[in-house]
């Protein structure tokens, strides 16, 4: 899960024709190579080059398959794929955020991958990541990269401030923030005001936005209110950077951290490469990565990443080619991706000595166990929007916590009409 969440998927199901052609089906015939289209949603500047190189490797190993590579901006891809699938013109393969997989599967856009070539190494993947690629018991994606939020911190600034260990609780974070500000003059902590980054405050209280088992909306539950009040307390404490709610908030916070103007942030491994470009981290070992703080008894951060999924509307030949491509791109070739892009592999055999020599990867690998898997609810990703809208109002002092979360719950109820509210 990165940067900002795309618009929600409309999950009205319909039946796709088994003979429908994808955008990659045109232009190939039975006597020549099969051409499949892959929509890659990785960062065009920092990551796409690696995947283009892997496409060439795949084509060399599979001369009977050609891959039409298309880089689609992450923020546009969810809606674009939905539109393309509805008109039977979707790509054969999509790099999909884990939160999109259930919604696309429910709508009938994706082909199951159980017992296909794509899933031949399924036992080598982290089991919780495989669960995030399923919907109603069927496998609809193969994990390509994974991530979770961690506490990124500047070791040098912490040391100057006399902070000897990364904070494990929110109270310890407030203490560290104050010390950093007092001893160095630098802001101790900055918060990105997006719903995704607020989830650790809910998880720390043992709650989520919804309870799927009980079909209940819990974003305004007493536990959620307590969690967001804790966030407010952190942001109001000495050493916290002034809240930025502008459209450039994400970039501003990253620039401040990378240049040493703020000592700690909540962030994911997708920013490793950019952080290491900053003046404060020319020495990569200056980057500290620790589990996101929590309460005295519980920590938790959202588990994210991307799956490679196959379009259900492709014909048999393109399905088979897509499965081979997905298998290759999620194979031990993940080692090449990790080394080049600084992202986390989804299978253990890709964590080579060279890969874990990257302190950013090694740091996040150690905290993956604190990641909380995404709930298997097609509408789950859409719930971040009402939470974020109200979160900004709450932490800006425009509305009270309970009032704001009640409004978020009411909006969530419109997305989930069969769910009860707290």
Averaged pLDDT for residues 42-54: 93
Predicted confidence at residue 30, as pLDDT, reads 53
Instruction: Let me know: does 342 contact 273? Beta carbons within 8 Å.
Output: yes
Contacts of 324 (CB under 8 A, 6+ apart): 62, 65, 117, 118
Residues β-bridged to residue 71: 40
Tell the burial category of 61 from Cβ atoms under 10 Å away from its Cβ (0-12, 13-18, 19+): exposed
Q: Where are the domains of the chain?
A: 34-146+305-372, 148-302+378-421
Q: Is the dihedral of CA 383, 271, 73, 63 positive or negative?
A: negative
Dist CA 87 CA 106 (whole Å)? 17
Averaged pLDDT for residues 324-333: 96
Query: Global pTM?
Result: 0.83
CATH architecture label of 34-146+305-372? 3-Layer(aba) Sandwich (3.40)
Alpha helices in 167-248 (DSSP H): 170-184, 195-203, 222-236
Quote the Cα angle for 303-307-313, to 5°: 145
| Helix count and strand count (H, E) for the chain | 16, 14
Q: Angle of helix 401-415 relative to helix 222-236, nearest 10 degrees?
A: 130
Predicted confidence at residue 177, as pLDDT, reads 98
CATH architecture label of 148-302+378-421? 3-Layer(aba) Sandwich (3.40)
Dist CA 391 CA 399 (whole Å)? 9
Dist CA 420 CA 371 (whole Å)? 27
Predicted confidence at residue 9, as pLDDT, reads 37
- pLDDT of 387-408, one tens digit each? 999 999 999 999 999 999 999 9
Instruction: Let me know: does 261 contact 186? Beta carbons within 8 Å.
Output: yes
- pLDDT of 279-319, one tens digit each? 999 999 999 999 999 998 899 999 999 999 999 999 999 99
Dist CA 22 CA 406 (whole Å)? 43
Q: How many CB atoms lie within 10 A of CB 411?
A: 18
Instruction: Let me know: does 169 contact 300? Beta carbons within 8 Å.
Output: no
The mean pLDDT value of the chain amounts to 91
Using DSSP's 3-state secondary structure scheme, residue 154 falls into: strand
Quote the Cα angle for 93-10-26, to 5°: 30
Averaged pLDDT for residues 233-261: 97
User: What's the token pair of residue 40?
Assistant: 């890659």
E strands present in 188-286: 210-211, 216-217, 264-267
Per-residue pLDDT band for 31 (boundaries 50, 70, 90) equals low
Q: Is the pLDDT of residue 15 over 70?
A: no
Dist CA 144 CA 39 (whole Å)? 14
């Amino acid at each position: 899960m990165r940067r900002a969440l795309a618009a929600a998927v409309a999950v009205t199901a319909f039946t796709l024709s088994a003979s429908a052609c994808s955008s990659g089906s045109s232009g190939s015939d039975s006597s020549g190579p099969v051409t499949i289209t892959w929509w890659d949603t990785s960062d065009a500047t920092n990551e796409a080059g690696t995947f283009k190189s892997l496409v060439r490797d795949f084509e060399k190993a599979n001369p009977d398959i050609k891959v039409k590579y298309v880089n689609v901006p992450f923020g546009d891809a969810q809606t674009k794929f939905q539109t393309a699938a509805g008109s039977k013109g979707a790509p054969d393969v999509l790099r999909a955020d884990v939160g999109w997989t259930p919604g696309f599967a429910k709508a009938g856009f994706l082909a199951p991958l159980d017992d296909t070539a794509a899933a031949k190494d399924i036992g080598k993947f982290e089991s919780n990541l495989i669960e995030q690629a399923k919907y109603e018991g069927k496998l609809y994606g193969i994990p390509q990269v994974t991530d979770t939020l961690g506490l990124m911190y500047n070791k040098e600034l912490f040391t100057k401030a006399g902070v000897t260990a990364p904070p494990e609780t929110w109270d310890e974070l407030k203490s560290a923030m104050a010390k950093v500000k007092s001893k160095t003059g630098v802001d101790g902590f900055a918060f990105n005001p997006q719903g995704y980054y607020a989830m650790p405050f809910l998880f720390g209280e043992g709650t989520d936005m919804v309870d799927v088992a009980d079909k209940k909306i819990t974003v305004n539950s007493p536990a959620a209110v307590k969690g967001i009040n804790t966030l407010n307390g952190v942001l109001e404490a000495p050493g916290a950077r002034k809240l930025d709610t502008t459209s450039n908030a994400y970039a501003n916070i990253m620039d401040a951290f990378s240049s040493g103007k703020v000592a700690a942030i909540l962030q994911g491994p997708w920013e490793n490469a950019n952080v290491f470009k900053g003046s404060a981290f020319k020495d990569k070992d200056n980057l500290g990565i620790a589990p996101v703080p929590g309460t005295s008894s519980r920590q938790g951060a959202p588990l994210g990443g991307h799956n490679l999924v196959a379009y259900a509307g492709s014909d048999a030949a393109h399905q088979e080619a897509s499965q081979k491509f997905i298998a290759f791109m999620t194979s031990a070739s993940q080692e090449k991706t990790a080394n080049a892009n600084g992202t986390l592999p989804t299978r253990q055999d890709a964590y080579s000595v060279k890969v874990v020599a990257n302190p950013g990867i090694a740091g996040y690998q150690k905290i993956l166990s604190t990641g909380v898997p995404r709930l298997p609810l097609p509408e789950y990703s859409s719930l971040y929007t009402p939470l974020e809208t109200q979160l900004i109002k709450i932490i800006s002092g425009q509305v009270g916590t309970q009032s704001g979360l009640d409004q978020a719950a009411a909006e969530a109820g419109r997305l989930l009409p069969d769910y009860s509210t707290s």
